[in-house]
Structure 1
């Protein structure tokens, strides 16, 4: 969607600037913002932003941040799927970075969280007002990070993303082609997805949105029974029809509503994952 123009005085730091962050940086830079990307190791090649090499877990490496940062997008990637790795970046790293920034100039923080903060809802609709109840340590730590950030004196937003897909994220297609993907039919397990470009667009949108709500769900318009999604993708990919199997662990079955994000003025390019995957497979 078209984003509102940024001001040349907007100085945006994207901490944990990987795939989603870099896509958001391109959008923000094209609207006139100054953008910095922070990573442990810097990628090769040109980019529409300035790079900062730093480790969020090591406060000493954050001493040379650019002054006057006005907006922070926080979306680090843990180095491992463990409680220690998640706590290191989402709790310790967030606190370290916030301590290193100037609160007098910081006007907005957007924390990219996950719908893993919700529990099992047996296919019911879930939105921002639904109580959290994570089923695993990652959701528990993200809930803690959200609560800590919300208690700080800087205006903040948490963007809870559903499962992402897009260029470079076709592992599911590979599993279908290899006959390894399974999904339950009874009871139905609901899947929620978001294209990586729509996730980046939502992040850029919320960084510049006047008077945002404290929490938004990032997902497309079309929750799908997992077995229906897999069957549609298998047909597109020329893969065998997926067999029946257990639901993914520790995610819960729920239908996510993006009504609040839509009402804020954000329009998705890919409202249905089947359309998004079809475009990806056409270009692959």
Structure 2
């Protein structure tokens, strides 16, 4: 049966999710702060601000699935909390929930701390190193306490079209990477992330938590060197490890076991295809 789905936040990832929902025959509404000129075949747009509850009146009735994936206005604690904690609460209080069957919160692997390259999965206790992980964990905990069936998808670092800024720094010799100590990186192609969201919404008995990541964690210097070779750039110089992230290898075993199969299981292949497309397009 077709679902009536609301996307709370609809940027690059949300638009890809909307396309997947449309393909399965759902009716899709998307809420965002900035106006959209007109509806299109995939999305019926709603202009509202999750941080301003007075703008959330008149939401559509009969929403059966809610996907919460907004973007904060700024990278600071107050903006994150207003968006993910307060905004989530504002929306669920304003929404007609009589038919709401499932809420999916898009969170982040930032809720995990430093694991010195060890494997991390859904059973690993969260211990965020920075405010973004702390706020997202608070949002997860609030949602889990509500009387709605909910699923949390903790995404790793997304890459895809338009997300190649660090490659340009490689080309110009400005990139740095931690080689010693080695820092593990975890990635997921944005199209795989969108497909994973649609997949989890379709499961009849999903678990409460999944990690969204590809099959192949990589030392960050290995990923950088692989991409440098693709673009004939110099290898990145030694630099500091990313701050507030922690070195770990994320496991997608639970997501895989649910029946999901990523199209890009190794980010080296994904980046190769992206860069080939970029060259062909130019």
TM-score between both structures, scaled by the size of structure 1 = 0.95
Q: Residue 25 of structure 1 aligns to a residue in which SS?
A: helix
Q: Give the alignment of 1:107-126 within 5 angstroms.
A: 107-126=101-120
Counterparts of 2:108 and 2:205 in 1: how far apart (Å)? Answer: 22
Counterparts of 1:42 and 1:26 in 2: how far apart (Å)? Answer: 19
Farther off after superposition, 107-116 or 57-66: 57-66
Corresponding residue number in structure 2 for 1:243: 237
Q: Residue 146 of structure 1 aligns to a residue in which SS?
A: helix
Structure 2 residue 185 is matched with structure 1 residue 186: no
Structure 2 residue 33 is matched with structure 1 residue 40: yes
Runs of at least 5 residues in structure 1 that lack an aligned partner in the other structure? 1-6
Q: Which runs of 4+ in 1 moved over 6 A?
A: none
Shift in CA distance, 270/35, structure 1 to aligned 2, threshold 3 Å:
same
Q: How many residues align?
A: 277
Structure 2 residue 209 is matched with structure 1 residue 209: no
Counterparts of 1:251 and 1:258 in 2: how far apart (Å)? Answer: 18
Corresponding residue number in structure 2 for 1:4: none
Counterparts of 1:191 and 1:40 in 2: how far apart (Å)? Answer: 32
Runs of at least 5 residues in structure 2 that lack an aligned partner in the other structure? none
Corresponding residue number in structure 2 for 1:102: 96
Given the alignment, which residue of 62, 65, 76 partners 1:71? Answer: 65
User: Alpha-carbon deviations, 1:223-266, whole Å to 9, x = none?
Assistant: 00000000001111221111111100000000000000000001
Corresponding residue number in structure 1 for 2:273: 279
Farther off after superposition, 187-196 or 202-211: 202-211
Structure 2 residue 16 is matched with structure 1 residue 23: yes
Counterparts of 2:16 and 2:41 in 1: how far apart (Å)? Answer: 10
Counterparts of 1:90 and 1:236 in 2: how far apart (Å)? Answer: 38
**Following TM superposition, by how much is the alpha carbon of 1:210 offset from its aligned partner in structure 2, in angstroms?**
1.2
Counterparts of 1:254 and 1:44 in 2: how far apart (Å)? Answer: 43
Counterparts of 2:46 and 2:161 in 1: how far apart (Å)? Answer: 25
User: Alpha-carbon deviations, 1:149-192, whole Å to 9, x = none?
Assistant: 00000000110000000011111211111212211222210000
Corresponding residue number in structure 2 for 1:56: 50
Structure 2 residue 83 is matched with structure 1 residue 89: yes
**Following TM superposition, by how much is the alpha carbon of 1:44 offset from its aligned partner in structure 2, in angstroms?**
5.3
Counterparts of 2:230 and 2:5 in 1: how far apart (Å)? Answer: 39
Corresponding residue number in structure 2 for 1:151: 145
TM-score between both structures, scaled by the size of structure 2 = 0.96
Counterparts of 2:245 and 2:84 in 1: how far apart (Å)? Answer: 19
Farther off after superposition, 17-26 or 181-190: 181-190
User: Alpha-carbon deviations, 1:91-124, whole Å to 9, x = none?
Assistant: 1100000101122210000000000000000000
Counterparts of 2:35 and 2:256 in 1: how far apart (Å)? Answer: 34
Counterparts of 1:54 and 1:44 in 2: how far apart (Å)? Answer: 14
Q: Residue 133 of structure 2 aligns to a residue in which SS?
A: helix
